[in-house]
Amino acid sequence: MPQNTPSFIAYDALVDLLQAVFTRAGTSDSVARTLAQNCAGAERDGSLSHGLFRIPGYLGSLKSGWVDGCAVPEVEDVAPGFVRVDACNGFTQPALAAGTPLLLEKLAENGVALIAIRRSHHFGALWPDVEPFARRGLVALSMVNSFACVAPVGGRKPVYGTNPIAFAAPRAGEDPLVFDQAASALANGDVRIAAREGRMLAPGSGIDREGQPTGDPAAILNGGALLPFGGHKGAAIALMIEILSAALTGGNFSFEVDWSKHPGAETPVTGQILILIDPERGTSGGFAARVETLLDRVIDAGQPRLPGDRRYALRRASARDGIPVDGALLRDLQRMAGRSPAEPLFEVPLKAGAEADAATATI
Amino acid sequence: MPQNTPSFIAYDALVDLLQAVFTRAGTSDSVARTLAQNCAGAERDGSLSHGLFRIPGYLGSLKSGWVDGCAVPEVEDVAPGFVRVDACNGFTQPALAAGTPLLLEKLAENGVALIAIRRSHHFGALWPDVEPFARRGLVALSMVNSFACVAPVGGRKPVYGTNPIAFAAPRAGEDPLVFDQAASALANGDVRIAAREGRMLAPGSGIDREGQPTGDPAAILNGGALLPFGGHKGAAIALMIEILSAALTGGNFSFEVDWSKHPGAETPVTGQILILIDPERGTSGGFAARVETLLDRVIDAGQPRLPGDRRYALRRASARDGIPVDGALLRDLQRMAGRSPAEPLFEVPLKAGAEADAATATI
C-alpha cells in the first residue's frame, strides 16, 4: 500500500488510538478520553480543521508545559441558574463535562441556565459542545474566544480571536439543527491549511502586517490578521463573543493570551460561555415540530442544504465505511501511541454487497 | 419659516406630542406613553428609520384593526428563570415593560433569566429594549423576528424577517456598550427610505422577484427579498433569531404573518426573546472594568468608533439643541394630535453663549 493511500478507520478505533496518543503525551486518562472523542468526532464529520490536523498543536502545548493535561476542573454553584467552572489551566471540554450535571439540574429547575468556564484551553470544534444538549431536547448557545488574530473593522492590529459561536436546537424526527461558525471571515485552521497548501483566500479575508487587505494566508499569519465576517455586523458579533466568553467568565481576552515563554504552545487559554434553554417552557410543547415547520420553509425557498447536513452525511458515511485517514498520518499516530503499525486497529462493518471495498478498508 | 426648515424639539415635548397622536389613534394611555418614548428616543438618537418615519405605519396598523392598541399583556411565571408574556395582539414594548419586574426578580435570584414574548407587534428599534438593563449593570441579549422579507442563502423567496439582534453590556464610567443590528444586509426601514429617495443600494443587498441579485430597493420591496448580511454565516444568525423569537416563544414565524385582510397594517405580529445575565455572578465583580479594558484595546487597534457612539453623540446634541424635526412633519403631527400648530411645544434649554441658536430652536 503506497504511503499516502487513506485507510478507513472505525470511530471507536480512532478514539482508542488518539486516547493512547494523549495519554502518552501526559494527560490523565479522562482528559485523554474526552479529547480523543472530540478530535475523532471532528475527523469523522469532516471538520478536518479541528480533527487530526490539530494533534500536533495539542501535543506541542502539552510538551511545552503551557497546558495542564491532568487538571481537575473546579465546579462552583454560584446561583440557582449559574454554574462557574475554573478549568485550572486544563482543556475546556473536561471542564464543560465536569459542570454539565449541575448545569442540567439547574436547567430542569429554572428553564434557563448558564455555565461560565475560565482558565480553559479550547482547541476543538465548538459544535460537539452543543449538539448533545439538543439531542436531549434543549436549545444550546455557546461562544468561546481564542487568541488575537482578528482585527476590528477599520483596525490595523488583531484584537479578537476567531471567536466561534455554536447553536443547537432539536428537530422533530431528525438530527438536531447545529451550526458552528467563526466570527472571522475564515476559521484559523482553514487559514493554516491554505497556507500549507499554498492556496490564496478570498480577497479581504484579512489584512497584512501593514494593515492592508489581503487574501494571502501567509501574510495573514505572519504579522497580519484575519477580518471579521460580514463587515461591521460580524465585528459586533466578534466583540459580543469576546465579552461573553472572557469578561463574563473571568477568562483571558484573546489579546491577553501570552504563550511567548512556551515555544510550541498552540492552545489558547481563555473562557467559554454556554447558555441552555428548555424550549418547552416557552411553547407548552411542540418546539421541535415548530423548528421543522421553519426548516421546511427554508428548503422550499431554495436553500440547498441546512447547517450540519454535510456533517451528518459524512458521519453516516464514516459509520458505514470508516473514517478516511491518510496512511502516513495513521502510522505517525500509531507511533505516537506506542503501537506497532502492524497491529490491527479494528474492522469496519461490512456493507451488504460491498465486501471488496470493506476489505481494503480494513487494516 | 419655510415649510421644510427643521424645528428643534425637546425630547419631553416630542414624547408628549406623540403620546397625543397615539391616544387619538385609539391606544390606551399607557401604550401611547410607551410607544411615544420609544419613537421619540429613536428620533433623538438618529435612529431615523425607527423614529417619526414609523408613525404612519403605527397608525395604519391601528386604523386597520390589525393591532390592539389597548391590549393588556398577560404575564406568566413558568419557571424560576423563565417569564412568558402573551402580548394579546398588542405592541411588544408594553409587554416587555409588563414582564420586566418579574424578570428582574428572577435575575436577582438566578443569575440568568429569560423573557419570551408572543403575539406581539414590534415596530421600533431594538436597542431601547436592552440599553436600560445595561444601565443597571446587567448584560442583555434580545432578538425579534418580523415579516418575511429576507431570503435564505441560495434561496429565491423570503422566509426570514430582518430579524434584529441587540446586545447591551455595562461599561465602567461610560454609557453602556449597545449594538442593534438586522440579520439582513440592510434594515427594512433603510430599504424603504432608499426607495423613497430613489437611491440604489449596494449590489447584492437583495434579490428581485426572479431571484436575481439586485441593489434596486424597489425591486427588493416589490416581490423580491433582502439577503442576510455576511453570506451563509449571517443566514445562520437569521435562522437562529427566527427560532428563538418565534419557535421558542410560541409566536408567529415571519412567514406566517398574514395581514392581507388588513389593508394599511404594517406592524408584524411575531415574538421576542430577551436573555438577561448578571455578569457579576461570573466575575466576582469588575465586569464593567473588564469590558473597558477590551474596548480600550479595540480603539487602540484603530477602530474609529464603538457601536452606540453615534447614538450617544446625537442624544447629547439633542439634549442640548433639541431634536431636529422637519417643519411640515411637525405640523402634521400636531394636526394628528389634535393641536394647533400655533400652540407652543416647549423650550429647548439654552446653551451658554448660544442664545441666538437656542432662540431659533424654540417654536
What pLDDT score was predicted for residue B329? Answer: 94
**CB–CB contact B301 A246 (8 Å):** no
Closest in B153, B248, B287 to A287, CB measured: B248
Q: Is B168 exposed, middle or buried (0-12, 13-18, 19+ CB in 10 A)?
A: buried
**CB–CB contact B79 A278 (8 Å):** yes
SS3 category, A353: coil
**CB–CB contact B233 A181 (8 Å):** yes
Condensed to tens digits (0 to 9), the pLDDT of residues A321-339 reads 999 999 999 999 999 999 9
Candidates A104, A112, A232, partner chain B, best to mutate (most B CBs within 10 A): A112
Chain A: residue whose CA lies nearest to B295: A239
Closest in A81, A179, A279 to B110, CB measured: A81
Show residues of chain B in contact with A177, CB under 8 Å: 239, 243
What pLDDT score was predicted for residue B344? Answer: 61
Condensed to tens digits (0 to 9), the pLDDT of residues B177-224 reads 999 999 999 887 788 889 999 999 998 899 999 999 999 999 999 999
Please state, in angstroms and as integers, the Cα–Cα distance from residue A304 to each residue in A82, A313, B241, following that order: 39, 14, 20
What pLDDT score was predicted for residue B352? Answer: 38
**CB–CB contact B112 A116 (8 Å):** no
**CB–CB contact A112 B111 (8 Å):** no
Residue B50 bears catalytic tag:
yes
What pLDDT score was predicted for residue B188? Answer: 79
How far is it, in rounded angstroms, from Cα B322 to Cα B308?
A: 19
What pLDDT score was predicted for residue A346? Answer: 57
Show residues of chain A in contact with B279, CB under 8 Å: 247-248
Average pLDDT, chain B: 92
End-to-end, the C-alpha distance of chain B in Å comes to: 10
A–B: how many Cβ contacts below 8 A? Answer: 232
Residue B61 bears catalytic tag:
no
**CB–CB contact A111 B278 (8 Å):** no
Condensed to tens digits (0 to 9), the pLDDT of residues A251-264 reads 999 999 999 999 99
Closest in B181, B234, B249 to A282, CB measured: B249
Q: How many CB atoms lie within 10 A of CB A152?
A: 27
What pLDDT score was predicted for residue A24? Answer: 97
Per-residue pLDDT of chain A (363 residues; tens, 9 = 90+): 445 688 999 999 999 999 999 999 999 999 999 999 999 999 999 998 899 999 999 999 999 999 999 999 999 999 999 999 999 999 999 999 999 999 999 999 999 999 999 999 999 999 999 999 999 999 999 999 999 999 998 899 999 999 999 999 999 999 999 999 999 998 877 888 899 999 999 988 999 999 999 999 999 999 999 999 999 999 999 999 999 999 999 999 999 999 999 999 999 999 999 999 999 998 877 999 999 999 999 999 999 999 999 999 999 999 999 999 999 999 999 999 999 876 666 545 434 333 333 333 332
- Residue B351, pLDDT > 50, answer no
What pLDDT score was predicted for residue A119? Answer: 98
Closest in B152, B235, B282 to A250, CB measured: B282
Which residues of A are part of the catalytic machinery? 49-50, 190
The grid cell for A155 is 483596525
Closest in B112, B158, B159 to A81, CB measured: B112
Do β-strands A112-121 and B139-144 pair in parallel, antiparallel, or remain unpaired?
Answer: unpaired
How far is it, in rounded angstroms, from Cα A4 to Cα A8?
A: 12
How far is it, in rounded angstroms, from Cα B179 to Cα B237?
A: 15
What pLDDT score was predicted for residue A189? Answer: 76
What pLDDT score was predicted for residue A282? Answer: 85
Q: Is A5 exposed, middle or buried (0-12, 13-18, 19+ CB in 10 A)?
A: exposed
Q: What percent of chain B has pLDDT over 90?
A: 86
Q: Which of B50, B61, B129, B216 is catalytic?
A: B50
How far is it, in rounded angstroms, from Cα B332 to Cα A221?
A: 58
**CB–CB contact B111 A169 (8 Å):** no
Q: Which domains does chain A have, with CATH numbers?
A: 1-63+322-363 (1.10.1530.10), 72-183+228-306 (3.30.1370.60), 185-226 (3.30.60.50)
| DSSP classification of residue A10 | -
Candidates A105, A242, A248, A278, partner chain B, best to mutate (most B CBs within 10 A): A248
B328 pLDDT band, cuts 50/70/90, is very high
Query: Of A93, A97, A121, A119, which is closest to residue A36 (Cα–Cα)?
Result: A93
What pLDDT score was predicted for residue B320? Answer: 95
**CB–CB contact B248 A282 (8 Å):** yes
